[in-house]
Chains A and B, each alone.
Chain A
Amino acid sequence: MHTVLESVGKITLVSPRGRLDFGSAADFQAQIEGAMTGAGTAPVGVLIDCAGLDYVSSAGLRVFLIAARAAKRAGIAFGVCDLKPSVREVFEISGFRELMPVHADRPQALAQMLK
């Protein structure tokens, strides 16, 4: 798995690609933590774009939970978008849908978060 970080205005976009499982969870967590503390200027929001994410295990879900909590503590908006069906199913079964905002796609998510 690899992760792409980019900025759209004051939102930091985190785009994981591939399989997020126990093996890649620690790296992904470090990336998100980096995105949140930022280099100097903390972002207004962090959006995880899951368009390229093929698979999430429970260890991967845990990173989403930790990130959502950290964002809440830091007063940063947090959301995920563009879940593939298999990932969406995991979010639904685990109840994570209720735990964090899940947006249909990137434009919609950005519009919501910058509101």
Chain B
Amino acid sequence: MQRSVQAWAQSLVGDETPYARAFENLILALIAVSVVSVAFEATEDLPRWAAEAFRISEIVIVAVFSFEYLMRIIAAPKKLAFIFSFAGLVDLVSIAPFYLAGFDVRYIRVLRVLRVLRVLKVQRRTLEKAVAERTRELAERNLALLQAQKQITAELDVARALQIAILPSTFPANAGCDGAARMIPATTMGGDFYDFIELPDKRIGLVMADVSGKGVPAAFFMAVARTNLRELAVHHLDPSDCLTCTNEILCTQNPMDLFVTVFYCVFDPASGVLRYANGGHNPPCVRRTDGSIEMLNDAGGLVLGAIPGAKYADQMVQLRHGDRLVLYTDGITEAFNAAQEAYGMPRLIAEIQAHGNGAAAALVERICHSVADFAGAAAQSDDITLAVLAWHAPGGK
């Protein structure tokens, strides 16, 4: 019983309930009336009816204030502490003059203005509570965002792994030549790719490509480009034909205005003949056994996916026993170090000249190390992709 009375009192004079808000407004209005009446009572020739009205209003006000004071005592968990608190004393002072009949202490009623301070104090507390509440909500939303970001990052990691997984990890066995390749992805999803395609007559297709831009769009476009190229390569044995057809298809499947640079070549391990066409890609190089380098830069053509109807031309080079073909993307030549210097073509050529005599995989590793050493702590901004073909003529001549 006692508990429920206390709960009821709390609902009336507590900080937050709707009743309390209304009750508080009533108290504020009464304070205003009370202060005004003190001022008017001071006038000499007050009409009788007015004096009577002020007297009645004073009784009502004191009755309400007394009731409120009582409620606060009931609602307070520590009653003595409330009575002697600032708020408790202010409440008492605002009604005491009425009960102290005989003393002319009416002017002390002006102290009721102090009660306004108390109300303001309560409102500040309510405001602080609201701010704390909002801060907590924000923290919760931040946490949700963080979790969403975590999930997106995890999904991107999976996409990245899938993207790398579709690249061939080994060179076709029994190809009559030795090949190796590596792609070191940049932190953001990129669009480099290479491919080894087994063609009729034991010929082999080699692809080195780089999709413009980064992120999920580039990765999708890479998958589309790679799949189409692989499909068409089997039916179009001329590299230029293959690029022309791939370009037509990519132009119709390109809502993001992306493009891809592609170097595509078909190698015949029986004869050592390499036929190639270039869709806007960095020209690869051939290392002869004497260490000299030939750039395959005579097959300039437009990037794929840019405009329909682009034409490509076939070129040809005769590989000799022990020669190496090195295909790469600009992630190598444009790997930057902390001083913003690019790795550049001369460094790449020097590496190929100095270390091109071993196995294809050894040269790939060698160049990747050289680029990593050069870049040092600088962040890798682009995919680094490299493929090497080593040919040993049947019979070794």
Nearest Cβ on chain A to B192's Cβ, whole angstroms: 10
Would A21 and B303 count as touching, CB distance under 8 A?
A: no
Would A58 and B330 count as touching, CB distance under 8 A?
A: yes
For A1-18 the 0/1 string (1 means CB < 8 A from B) is: 000000000000000000
CA distance A92 to B298 in the complex (A): 12
Q: Is B257 an interface residue (CB 8 A)?
A: yes
Cβ 8 A contact of B213, one of A55, A58, A92, A96: A58
Would A66 and B257 count as touching, CB distance under 8 A?
A: yes
- B residues 299-339 near A (Cβ < 8 Å) are 300-303, 306-307, 310, 330, 334
In the bound complex, residues from chain A placing their C-beta under 8 Å from that of B259 are 58, 61-62, 65
Would B213 and A99 count as touching, CB distance under 8 A?
A: no
Q: Is A25 an interface residue (CB 8 A)?
A: yes
CA distance A65 to B307 in the complex (A): 10
Q: Is B382 an interface residue (CB 8 A)?
A: yes
CA distance A92 to B281 in the complex (A): 10
CA distance A95 to B313 in the complex (A): 13
- B residues 63-92 near A (Cβ < 8 Å) are none
The tally of residues in B whose CB lies under 8 Å from a CB in A reads 26
CA distance A59 to B261 in the complex (A): 12
Q: Is A37 an interface residue (CB 8 A)?
A: no
Nearest Cβ on chain A to B210's Cβ, whole angstroms: 6
Q: Is B239 an interface residue (CB 8 A)?
A: no
Dominant SS at the B interface?
Answer: loop
Would B300 and A93 count as touching, CB distance under 8 A?
A: yes
In the bound complex, residues from chain A placing their C-beta under 8 Å from that of B286 are none
For A78-115 the 0/1 string (1 means CB < 8 A from B) is: 00000000000000111110110000000000000000
- B residues 210-233 near A (Cβ < 8 Å) are 210-214
Would A59 and B257 count as touching, CB distance under 8 A?
A: no
Nearest-neighbor residue (CB-CB) of A66 within chain B: B257
Nearest-neighbor residue (CB-CB) of A62 within chain B: B212
Would B280 and A93 count as touching, CB distance under 8 A?
A: yes
Q: Is B381 an interface residue (CB 8 A)?
A: yes
CA distance A59 to B331 in the complex (A): 13
Given contacts A61-B212, A62-B259, contact A22 B381 (CB under 8 A): yes
In the bound complex, residues from chain A placing their C-beta under 8 Å from that of B310 are 95
Q: Is B352 an interface residue (CB 8 A)?
A: no
Q: Is B282 an interface residue (CB 8 A)?
A: yes
In the bound complex, residues from chain A placing their C-beta under 8 Å from that of B300 are 92-93, 95
In the bound complex, residues from chain B placing their C-beta under 8 Å from that of A95 are 279-280, 300-303, 306, 310
For A39-64 the 0/1 string (1 means CB < 8 A from B) is: 00000000000000001011101100
Show 8 A/B contacts (Cβ-Cβ < 8 Å), sorted by A: A22-B213, A25-B213, A58-B261, A59-B212, A62-B259, A94-B302, A95-B279, A96-B302
| With A22-B381, A58-B211 already in contact, 14 other A-B pairs whose C-beta atoms are closer than 8 Å | A22-B213, A57-B382, A58-B210, A58-B213, A59-B212, A62-B212, A62-B259, A69-B257, A93-B280, A94-B261, A95-B310, A96-B302, A99-B306, A99-B307
Ranked 4 nearest A-B pairs via Cβ: A95-B302, A58-B212, A94-B280, A59-B213
**A-side interface residues toward B, CB under 8 Å?**
21-22, 25, 55, 57-59, 61-62, 65-66, 69, 92-96, 98-99
